[in-house]
Amino acid sequence: MKPRIGVLTSGGDCPGLNAVLRGVALAAEKLNFEVLGFLDGFEGLLPPGRFIELNRRSTSGIMPRGGTIIGTTNRGHFVAKIGAGDRAEVAPEIIEDARRMLNEHRVEALIIVGGDGSMTTALQLHEAGINCIGVPKTIDNDLEATAMTFGFDSAVAAVTDALDRLHTTATSHKRVMVLEVMGRHAGWIALHGGIAGGAHIILIPEIPFDYDKICEALTMRDVRGSIYSLVVVAEGAKPCHGQVVMQPNEGGEYRMGGIGHVVAGEIAVRSGRETRCTVLGHLQRGGAPTTLDRILGTRFGVKAVRLVSERQYGSMVSYQNYQVRHVPIADAVNRLRLVPPEGELIQTARDVEISFGD
Ligand code: F6P
């Protein structure tokens, strides 16, 4: 009987997840492992276990597909994250149930593909004696332990494309067009997408903004002869003396989003300019992954299998200095990589006349 590896995808979906699964399946086949893909994130670990076999056949042709063929969730019995830097424990009986089910199905190691919250859960499973390998995933690209995550490049491409399209209406109608993008704690998507899409003002969580400065930047553009403007706002951006905008949902939780409309409203009132807002939302997370995300996802999946074969349990795949390496999961959780306000990228943006509203 071949030894078995389990794999699951957890948290928000992200372009490149299927490339990881394909990488896992093919690399495992080469090393003589069988792979079970657990369905709907950690929930598939609950007895009796819900999974499909991942192999050459079942992963054939999935590379260009967005999302994940084994499903995911950012809710359920295993949610261990209650906010940035916070940690809640997964109930011990749930961990025991998962362990029993993995033993029954002869799964020797579990590859967990997920973001910061999912890595917190992975760490708990590892500490409880389940052999785990982490693969980092977030379109926000805000994990300190890896220089890059797959999904980010695809999200930035969606923002760039949206800005290219908004340019048309902005110039034709001489309007201010505001685009709200994802990025709860870090402004990487807004910054990269904004620079690539030719935005004139970029508002990110790391640099609190001032509406007077935004209006000054718009006036400066008038003076220079440009009577339209593109503004990119990360969902976690906030004014110097204000709060992050959040919306309550049915479950009594709060979800970020809404700052785009607030910023557009303030610009319209304060500057008298015709202003519109577009919220890009989940369009950033959907569709085919870019070339870069397909390659990075494949490399991460293959590396995860190699780490299983080397029994490097408790490790997370990490991208550093153009190499795919690994770090302890314990060193990776709860450490966000934010945009350095004095960094080279911000300075580059300022040098091409982008304002951060500060
Ligand atoms: O962390 C990834 C992310 O896409 C954030 O940028 C965004 O705030 C959040 O997930 C949205 O989550 P959901 O799909 O649950 O609304």
pLDDT in tens, 117-167: 899 999 999 999 999 999 999 999 999 999 999 999 999 999 999 999 999
185 lines ligand 1 (CB under 6 A): no
CA distance 194 to 197: 5
139 lines ligand 1 (CB under 6 A): yes
74 lines ligand 1 (CB under 6 A): yes
Instruction: Specify the pLDDT at position 251.
Output: 66
- Going by C-alpha positions, the residue among 169, 193, 200 that lies closest to residue 276 is 169
- Residue 306 pLDDT grade (very low, low, confident, very high; cuts 50, 70, 90): very high
CA distance 197 to 221: 17
The 51-54 sheet, strands edge to edge: 51-54, 34-38, 4-9, 107-114, 132-136, 315-320, 323-328
- Least-confidence region, from 267-271, 316-320, 331-335, 343-347: 331-335
The average confidence (pLDDT) of the chain is 95
CA distance 241 to 269: 18
> Each residue of 45-60: pLDDT tens digit?
999 999 999 999 999 9
Residue 80 pLDDT > 80, yes or no? no
CATH superfamily of 154-285: Phosphofructokinase domain (3.40.50.460)
For the stretch 264-292, what's the b/e string if a residue is b when 16 or more beta carbons lie within 10 angstroms of its beta carbon? bebbbeebebebbbbbbeebbbeebbbeb
- Residue 254 pLDDT grade (very low, low, confident, very high; cuts 50, 70, 90): confident
- Residue 88 pLDDT grade (very low, low, confident, very high; cuts 50, 70, 90): low
| Domains 4-150+289-331 and 154-285 belong to one CATH topology | yes
DSSP state of 289: P
| Ligand 1 midpoint to CA 235 (Å) | 10
Q: What average pLDDT does this structure show over 90-98?
A: 93
The pair phi, psi for residue 203, each rounded to 5°, is -115, 120
Instruction: Specify the pLDDT at position 75.
Output: 84
Instruction: Specify the pLDDT at position 79.
Output: 76
| Ligand 1 midpoint to CA 309 (Å) | 33
Q: What average pLDDT does this structure show over 109-114?
A: 98
138 lines ligand 1 (CB under 6 A): yes
- Residue 248 pLDDT grade (very low, low, confident, very high; cuts 50, 70, 90): confident
Instruction: Give the residue extent of every domain in the chain.
Output: 4-150+289-331, 154-285
CA distance 69 to 172: 42
Q: Which atom of ligand 1 is nearest to the CA of 13?
A: 14
| Ligand 1 midpoint to CA 320 (Å) | 25
- Going by C-alpha positions, the residue among 128, 210, 218, 209 that lies closest to residue 170 is 218
Residue 255 pLDDT > 90, yes or no? no
Q: ∠84-89-91 over CA atoms, to 5°?
A: 145
**Residue 213 tokens, joined:** 């400065």
Instruction: Specify the pLDDT at position 86.
Output: 55
Is 40 a catalytic site residue?
no
Domain 4-150+289-331 has CATH 3.40.50.450: yes
- Going by C-alpha positions, the residue among 259, 264, 265 that lies closest to residue 247 is 259
- Cβ–Cβ < 8 Å for 261, 136: no
Residue 98 pLDDT > 60, yes or no? yes
Using N-to-C axis directions, what is the helix angle for 259-271 and 211-223, rounded to 10°? 60
| Ligand 1 midpoint to CA 217 (Å) | 30
Residue 85 pLDDT > 60, yes or no? no
Q: Looking at the chain, which runs of residues are DSSP E strands?
A: 4-9, 34-38, 51-54, 107-114, 132-136, 176-181, 201-203, 229-234, 246-248, 254-256, 275-279, 315-320, 323-328
CA distance 73 to 155: 19
- Residue 316 pLDDT grade (very low, low, confident, very high; cuts 50, 70, 90): very high
Instruction: Specify the pLDDT at position 9.
Output: 98
Strand partners, 180: 233, 279
143 lines ligand 1 (CB under 6 A): no
- Residue 214 pLDDT grade (very low, low, confident, very high; cuts 50, 70, 90): very high
Residue 84 pLDDT > 80, yes or no? no
